[in-house]
Amino acid sequence: MPNTAILALEDGTVYQGRAYGARIVRTGEVVFNTSLTGYQEVFTDPSYTGQIVVLTNPQVGNYGTNAGDDEATTPYIEGLVVREWAESPSNWRSDTSAEQFLSRSNVPVISEMDTRALVRKLRMGGVMQGALSTAGHSPEELIAMARNAPSMAGLDLATRVSTKERYEWSAPVEPCCPTDIVRVAQPGTFHVVAYDFGIKRNILRCLASIGARVTVVPAGTTSAEVLALNPDGVFLSNGPGDPEPLEFQAAQVRGLVGKTPVFGICLGHQIIGLALGGKTFKLKFGHRGINHPVLNYRTNKVEITVQNHGFCVDPDSLNANEIELTHINLNDQTLEGLRHRSQPVFCVQYHPEAAPGPHDSQYLFDDFAAMMKEFKK
C-alpha cells in the first residue's frame, strides 16, 4: 500500500496524499501544466528544473513511458502532483511504468490530490515555493523547507542544465513530428550552431528536418567561438530559470546580430529581448500547456501553441524603431514574438517544435531556413 505523501507551500498550506515515485523530499517552485497528454515530455523538459509540477489532467501514468518520448536523458522536474496515479499502464509503446521512470531518477510523486483546488490557489495567489515529501517529514518541517527554498527570480539555471561539451547532433534526419508525414530537407543544407540552455530533442529533430547539420554548444560559449564554427545560422534554445542573470549570454547575442541569422525560442526569445535592450518580468503563474492561442500579427492568423515559461519580455522596453512585435498571447496580451526590423533576428516565446501539441507553428523553422538561405546570397 502506498505511503503518505505531504506537499507544503510557503504560505503554510499543507496537502496530504498517497506517495509514489522516489521516497525522498524535494523543494521547488510549484507550477501547473494544463496539457491533456505528454506527461513524459514534461518530466524530461529541462525547462522544469527547480519546479514541482501539478498536472491538471486527472489521470497520469496510464500509458507508461518509452525512450522515444524523452526530451532529455533524464527527468528534470523536482516533484509531481497528480489527481490519480495509474499503477498499471497500458500502451503498446510503453517499455516501463511512469512509477519506475520517476523512481530511478529520485523524483517523488503525490497522488489523490485535489489538483483543481491547488491550481485555483496558484492562479489567484501566484506560484510559490513548496516542499514535497514521500519520506515521512512532518508538515512543520516541510513548511520551513518551502520558506527557505530559493526563489526562481534571479536564478541562473540555464548554465546548470546546459551541456558541458560541444557536440554534433548525430541522430538520423527525420521529421520533427514522427507521427506526421512531412518534408525533410536535404541533410547538410545548412550548418546551425545551437546554444543549449536546456534544449529539447524535438528542437534538434526540427532543425534537422530543414536540412541543418547541428552543432550544440554550452551556454557559456562566446560569440567569437560560435562565429569561428562558420555557421549559416545560430539557434537559442529554451531553458529554465530567470533570464535576467544571463547577462553574458545576452552580450554574446549582441555580438552575433548582423553577422549571422539568429532564431530563438522561449528562454532564447527572452535572451534576444535582453540583447536588444529590452527587459523581462516574472508572470504571476506562467504559461504551461499545449492549447495557448497566439495571434500572428504578420498573417493575422491565430496559432494554437505549446508554452512553458514563467517570465516574459516587456514590449514597452523595446525600441519600436528597431523591433517589430510579431506575436501576442490572446489570453493575457503578453508578448509572444518579435523580429529585428533590419537584421536577420527573430524569436518566439512559445514552442513551435511542440512534442506533444499542435503543429500550427512549425513554419517558423522554414522561416529560419529561408532567412539562412537569403543571408548566404
Tell me how far apart the alpha carbons of residues 355 and 43 are, in angstroms, rounded to a whole number. 12
Number of folded domains in the chain? Answer: 2
Work out the pLDDT band at 1, boundaries 50, 70, 90.
very low
Tell me how far apart the alpha carbons of residues 213 and 225 are, in angstroms, rounded to a whole number. 17
Last residue of a domain, one of 148, 182, 207: 148
Tell me how far apart the alpha carbons of residues 195 and 59 are, in angstroms, rounded to a whole number. 35
Q: What is the residue range of 292's domain?
A: 158-376
- Give this prediction's pTM: 0.95
Residue 123: inside a domain: yes
Same domain, 136 and 70: yes
Same domain, 175 and 133: no
With beta carbons less than 8 A apart as the criterion, state whether 357 and 38 touch: yes
Tell me how far apart the alpha carbons of residues 118 and 164 are, in angstroms, rounded to a whole number. 37
Same domain, 116 and 168: no
Same domain, 182 and 276: yes
Same domain, 234 and 334: yes
Q: Is the pLDDT of residue 360 over 90?
A: yes
Residues with Cβ < 8 Å from 71, sequence gap 6 or more? 41, 44, 45, 46, 200, 201, 202, 355
Residues with Cβ < 8 Å from 209, sequence gap 6 or more? 173, 174, 175, 176, 182, 183, 184, 185, 365
Last residue of a domain, one of 114, 148, 182: 148
Tell me the pLDDT tens digit for each residue of 74-91.
999 999 999 999 989 999
Same domain, 60 and 164: no
Among 205, 273, 194, CA closest to 232? 194
Which amino acids are annotated catalytic?
Answer: 266, 351, 353
Residue 244: inside a domain: yes
Same domain, 314 and 343: yes
Q: Is the pLDDT of residue 179 over 50?
A: no
Same domain, 139 and 254: no
Same domain, 234 and 354: yes
Q: What is the DSSP letter of 346?
A: E
Q: Is the pLDDT of residue 42 over 90?
A: yes
Residue 116: inside a domain: yes
Average pLDDT over residues 94-113: 96
Among 101, 100, 99, CA closest to 72? 101
CATH number, position 49: 3.50.30.20
Tell me the pLDDT tens digit for each residue of 6-15.
999 999 999 9
Q: Which three-class secondary structure state does DSSP give residue 312?
A: strand
Residue at grid coordinates 545560422: 233
Residue 153: inside a domain: no
- For residue 376, the model assigns a pLDDT of 86
CATH number, position 206: 3.40.50.880
